[in-house]
Structure 1
Amino acid sequence: MQIKVRLYELDALGHLNHAVYHSYAEVARVEALERAAGGSTALHDEHVSPVLLASSISYRREIRLGETVDVTCDAKFGTGKTFQMEQHIYKADGTLSAELAVTLGLMDLERRKLVDDPRGRFERAGYDLKLLSTSE
């Protein structure tokens, strides 16, 4: 997804505040999950929701006011209750600005516990996993 940098997102050095990179990644993750759901409300109806468990970032190039960036998401499913997502933030000219590695899970909102097999849960809920992962 594309996001344009706004004035209030800058820090004292005149470039994108470090926390805003994480916000951009979150916006892109939510958008990707909504697209992959294709209108399905199955997870919501089951009181299950994605939850962020860990996030790390490597900054590569600064982003400045008025620039438009592209934010990517690529889920990697394995076994267990969690899955990984690689995210990249690119400047309009294709320069890599930041790399994020996040760990997510699906939480049962009533039990407040992670559910097993997030990939399977997404699949059974009708999500198009090809929209979330290049390895699908």
Structure 2
Amino acid sequence: MTFRVPLQVRSYELDALGHVNHAVYHQYGEVARVAGFQAAGCDWDGLVAQKLSPVLLSTTVNFRRELRANEHVEASCEAKFGSGKSFHLDTVITKADGTISADITCVLGIMDLDARKLVADPLGTLRAVGFDAEILAPGA
């Protein structure tokens, strides 16, 4: 099961055309990522205390259907780990009727804040600070 967080579109998130501004989708993705990490037992403050921090390396949004004020949506969060220093966190913004409004693909790494370099094993590093991979990356 994919982790999901409910959101409601607020009027101040709209652009001149009356739908959600493009930059707000990135914020929705960030809400899903932070909530997902917390649900998996690993929050940003806990990582920073360990001299670690997730860093966003790239993000791409594919806009599919517009969102308007007061719509209720869900933002999912699913992690995909490979063998390198980076990993993917994918978010799908889904409208109440099941229509996909946008999908967001992010590439992240875990930075060692003292060395200012990405750690070699992000999944292992996250697990060492309490991350339950089954919450965001079933089977990892």
Structure 1 residue 106, shift from structure 2 partner: 0.3
Who is 1:47 aligned against? 51
Partner of 2:12: 8
Could you say if the C-alpha distance between residues 108 and 40 of structure 1 is closer, same or farther in structure 2, counting changes exceeding 3 Å?
Answer: closer
Q: Find the aligned partners of 1:5 and 1:91 in 2 and give their Cα distance.
A: 10
Q: Which of 99, 115, 120 is the aligned partner of 1:111?
A: 115
Give the secondary-structure state (helix, strand or coil) at the position aligned to 2:40.
Answer: helix
Aligned to 2:35: 31
User: Which residue of 71, 74, 88 maps to 1:70?
Assistant: 74
Kept in 2, the 8 Å contact 1:40–1:127? The answer is no
1:123 and 2:127 aligned = yes
Q: Does 1:61 align with 2:75?
A: no
Asked if the contact 2:90/2:104 (under 8 Å) is kept, the reply is yes
Aligned residues between the structures: 136
TM-score normalised to structure 2 length: 0.90
- Identity, % of aligned positions: 49
Q: Assess if the C-alpha contact under 8 Å between 2:44 and 2:53 holds in 1.
A: no
Alignment RMSD: 1.7
CA contact (8 A) 2:54 2:111 kept: yes
Q: Match of 2:92, SS?
A: strand
- For 1:93, the aligned partner's letter is D
Determine if the alignment matches structure 1 residue 84 to structure 2 residue 88: yes
Greater alpha carbon shift after TM alignment, 88-97 vs 30-39: 30-39
* Residue in 1 that maps onto 2:23: 19
- In structure 2, the CA distance between the partners of 1:83 and 1:108, relative to structure 1 (3 Å rule), is same
Extract unaligned runs of 5+ from structure 2: none
Question: What are the ranges of 5 or more consecutive residues in structure 1 without an aligned counterpart?
Answer: none
